[in-house]
Every structure is written in structure tokens, then in C-alpha cells.
Structure 1
Amino acid sequence: MLTQIELLTEEESRKVYQTVHELKENWIQRHPLLPFYTLGLASYIDVPQDKPGYYKQAKYHNSILRDRLGWLYTKLANILEEHLQAPITYPENLALPGFHIFLSHPVFTQPVGSIHFDKSYMFHWEPTKDVDFSHPISFTLTISLPKNGGGLNVWDVEFAEAKQLNNSDLEKLAHQCHKTFYPYQVGSLVLHSGHAIHQIAPATNLQPGDERITLQGHGVRYQNCWQLHW
């Protein structure tokens, strides 16, 4: 189940968009040929490649994001604290929620996004009685969308049913199940468990200059406090 929360005004969304572009020299290209970038580190990409490097570089990237967008992280924490009825924190050793940036390219009209569950908490916490792996959160805050929109595909398959499957078998299972498309709206925060199979939905009729910019993050409840990270 997805929950949508209005978080940013049009003016605030434009302010974040402008700041993301002002920080373009800090974008990290995530594909050798395609215009797919992140601003900030992402556990699902960086930890498998170099876990010590992720922890070492997180402080540097976090300092840039906090310096320019501290107000956004405060506002995000406040709204989630109200919604979840529990304290919110950003662990110092983990990457802050950061940005996915997709510039216009014909390949993004194809279903190139991975079909997956969100499990980044497994990189950073050991399964103990103090941490709740059964009820994590994932969230997307939309900053900019292509002219013809964008969103998330979600399948009716839960993590408990398919956690032992490899990526190929997970994809096969998804194609046998019902899929729902959830459209994004600029300024809105979409909150879900990350434990239903999902995928970045392909774009429709991309135009030159189209961009898809979203703030991405995850949370796990540890010692009664939600730990937000990416």
C-alpha cells in the first residue's frame, strides 16, 4: 500500500530543482552510456561495489547535501515523524536520502528499471531484537517529471513470498502477477514498505529536455527511532 503526502509547494520544488542543478559537478554518473545520475550515495549501488568506500565517502556527500538542502531534510523528518508517530534521525555514518536524476533518452521509455524489493537496511544493521526488519519504509519525493509524467510500477508480490528468489526468477514471478501503476506528482512524498515488488515505471513519449528528478530514501526502526538513509 502506498501513501501520498503533500510535502513541498511549487516554489519549494523549484528551489530544490535549482539547487540540484547548481550541484551538477557533484552528480555521479551511474551508467557509462546513459544519462542516469545520483546526487549523493546510494546503498544499492555503492555498498556492493565498495562497502568501506561507501562509509568513507558518505560524510563528504552528506556535508554537501546538508549545506545546501538542510531545510529539506528538516521538513522531511518533521512530516515523517508526524505520520509515523515516532522520532526520526539521519545516522551520521550512512548516506542521506539523495537524488535519482534521469535526463531525456529514448531507452528510458523501455522497462529498464530493475524489478526489486528494497533491502538496503540489510547492508547496515544486524538482525537483532532492537531493529525491525519486518516493517521498513521507502519513500520518493518528486522534484521534476517529464512532460508526460512518471511513476512507479508495483506488483502484488510481497517480500515474504519471494525473498529467496534470484533477480531472474523474481522478474518471471512479477510478470505472472497483477501490476499497478502509481503516478507521481511534483512536491508529493510517496511512502511505502519497499516490500512489494516494484520498479521505476518507463517514461512515455519523452521529449528533449525532459528530466525525472526524485529524492529517494529508506528507513528502518531501530531502538524505537526511525533511521533514514539511502
Structure 2
Amino acid sequence: MAILEDGPNGGFRGKVGSVYGYNLNGKWVIRGSRRKSSKPPTHAQLTHREKMKLAGKFCGWIKPIVNFGYQFEESKKSGLGKFQLAQQQILKNAIDLDVENRPVINMEKVQVFVGELMSPEGVEARWEDDLLKLHWIPNPKYRDSTFKLNLALVSLDREGDLKMAIADARQGECTVEIPRFKMDKFDYHVYIGFWDTYRGVLSNSTYCGVI
């Protein structure tokens, strides 16, 4: 079954008869059914499949975070949902090959938030007296109290955490208490980003390192 988009003159998503419709980079595309190839997959194809699998698994692991971080991108009629947009970003920008040529997530390149605001600069994150201390350079454009700072903690070993509007963007520093992390012995990758709570706009996240 197909779904008609944007009225009778718009594109459609799904199968109609022997053809399929979908949206690719903002354009509606129609194609026929794909035939299963009898050729063995190439090394490049196998690597791409591994990357796709890794991106999907990683985004599923941090799904609550990317659901927040990509929510406003989804509304731009890209034809992709929040999860698919996050997968796309990871696949294109945040997967490297290790020494054995296997795909791995480059955590420094991951974007857990995306948007048009300027990202935080001069960032620092550290544990001090069982508290998470965050520092960044205040952006003079974001002096209004509607601009907030968001925090995401991502671990490859256990669930992470998302903290929204933990401080005004103009503060330049804040302290966050996260009780359940005090007993953890896992590494957490720290990301922060700005949020215009009035207009519903985010910045791309900035990677702050591992704690």
C-alpha cells in the first residue's frame, strides 16, 4: 500500500502495482522492483552493510537522545524521520575503519543534536567531587534566557542520559549532579548544545570528551 503525499499532484511513498515511490533528498522518485543479484557481494558492499548495521545499532542504543536532538530536522519535510536522519549523519560522518578494516563509531564526530544555531565553543567537562562541571564560552548572540544548554551523556557500555535546559546559554558554566553515574565505572562521552526554547531551534552538538 502506498501513501499519497501533498495532494493528488504530489509524490507517493510505498508500492503501487509493480512500482515503488519514495522521497530522495527532497525529490519524489519512482522505481521498479529490484531484482535479487546473483553476484557475490564485493568487499565494498560488505563493508557498507557493516556500516549500515553499526549505524542502526548505535542509533537504536541512543534513540531517546536522537529523538530529541533531531526532532526539528524531521519537521523540515526531509522525507526522513528522526531515527533515519541520525542514522544518515552517523553513516556519512561518524564511522571510521579500525586497523583491521572494521567499521567503528568515531564518537568525536557524532552529532546527537543538530540545528542552525551556533554550537558551543571552548568547552570543557570534568568530574569534581562527584559532580559534572561544564564550561563553555558564552555566545553574545545568545544572551536571552530563552537560550538554554542541553547535555547528553553517551556510553557504549550502558544507557546514556539526556538533560535538557540545564542552564542558560549565557552562563558559561554549570554544575550537574547525576546520582546514578556516581557508582558507574563506564566511560561516558559528553556532548552539549544550545537550544532556542522559544523558536524550537537547536545547535549541532559539541563533543566535550570522555569522563
Q: Shared topology, TM-score over 0.5?
A: no
Higher strand share: 2
TM-score of the two chains, using structure 1 as the length reference = 0.21
Task: Determine which structure has greater relative contact order: mean sequence separation of CA pairs < 8 Å that are 6+ residues apart, divided by chain length.
Answer: 1
Query: Which of 1 and 2 has greater Rg?
Result: 2
TM-score using structure 2 length? 0.22
